[in-house]
Amino acid sequence: MAAFIRNSYTIKPQKPSKTSIHQLSEWDQIGTVTHMPTIYFYKPSSNWLLKSDAMINTLKESLSRVLVPFYPLAGRLRSIGNSRLELVCNDMGVKLLEAESKFQLKDFGDFSPCPAFEYLIPCVDYTLPFNELPLMLVQLTTFQCGGVSVGLAISHTVADGQGALHFICEWARIARGEPLNKSPYLDRNVFKIDESPVFDHREFNHPPLLLGKSNNYEERKKKTATAMLKLTKEQIEKLKKISCVNNDGRSYTRYEILTGHVWKAACKARGHKPEQPTAIGICVDARKRMKPELPDGYFGNATFDVIAVSTAGEIMSNPLGFASGKIREAIQKVTSEYVTSAVTFLKNQKDLTRFQDLHTLGGVEGPFYGNPNLGVVSWLRLPIYGLDFGWGKEIYMGPGTHDFDGDSLVIPHHDEEGSLVLAICLRVAHMDAFKKYFYEGLV
């Protein structure tokens, strides 16, 4: 075992909050409704290591203070039927674990996600009812070399990546003895609805299946592997030159270029027939796209998933700009009117089960973006680095374990400005071929 738990604490807001019920938006209750794992590794100075309880006490005290403005995280979810939930703000608290490991930081190499991460990030027991699950779990693990890791699992139902990182950054500020920088905006009644949807929301349909298959049950069971693939600034420039300029005269963004490149490499690696339909899931932050824009500090889910669809033959045979163009078209759909129409569509659904991504729990009803599809989430604009609780900034930050075919993240390189990292999970049978096509012409 990579780590063993020494102590477990329940941390509640320093000042009790008023018990209340927060109605969740439809947006909070679709897609990923589980906890999202991330991990930070540190090399603290000897000043912190001299007092064995200094770090855990700092986390305990600062966490109780930051939970005062972010009190919904100390609450619990409750089912209200038809796969819908509400947020009960009752100060039941978050879980903080203190652990030790016989590992050393050097044992993790380049910190690519590995099985040991499972012991460094708090485990969430989804066999329990929703109303018993903490919405946030944290684990401080000390290694033999004196290094530490902070593993986090935060309920995606309560906050998306932007909201979760807002909370984490404010927590670190308070731990360093600084005041709160920006209060969260907690009112979730910001998404309007119309009388009926006015757009065709194909993103809510299940993505394409492999030709000849009536379901994806077998694909969900296939063994997968994870890789962290770096692209230097120079390699990204090469891709930019390959992709050319869009029909509107604007160059493609780094995300559009890289995502198109990933789509093309995956189609080749999976050996698709030209007529194989394939989709790519794209996550768009709607905060600045709404009219009016969502309030600064909005704490909830405001990311909108859209899809680009093509055939493997079109993606593989056309220049990179074709795939990037498909992706841009999908992103440009996300207007205030489109989001309002989508919320209305979801409000009209009797049950949300088929829109909830529960394959992390072994289910088969939610959307599956494995073979022949992909999902590429961007962390390029999120403040994921520089998290300092008082003992210095991290030496590495990344996603926790993710072992579902087609899941991928694009993140900025920790140490090299302009370079990017693709964290991708694919079937074991496809990974080597994917790496080959991913770097083809770039090395």
Active site amino acids: 156, 388
Contact (Cβ atoms closer than 8 angstroms) between residue 86 and residue 29: no
Sheet holding 94-100, edge to edge: 4-11, 94-100, 136-142, 148-155, 35-42, 396-399
Judge residue 250's burial from the number of C-beta atoms within 10 Å of its C-beta, 0-12 exposed, 13-18 middle, 19 or more buried: exposed
d(CA 409, CA 407): 7
d(CA 255, CA 261): 10
d(CA 216, CA 18): 46
d(CA 341, CA 394): 41
d(CA 342, CA 199): 8
Structure tokens at 439: 């770097």
DSSP state of 354: G
Of 329, 353, 355, the closest CA to residue 342 belongs to: 355
Number of Cβ within a 10 Å radius of residue 339: 22
Of 1, 77, 371, 27, the closest CA to residue 203 belongs to: 27
How does strand 136-142 pair with strand 94-100? parallel
How does strand 224-231 pair with strand 420-427? antiparallel
Q: What string of H, E and C letters represents the secondary structure of 177-196?
A: CCCCCCCCECCCCCCCCCCC
d(CA 324, CA 312): 14
- φ/ψ (deg, to 5) at 324: -60, -35
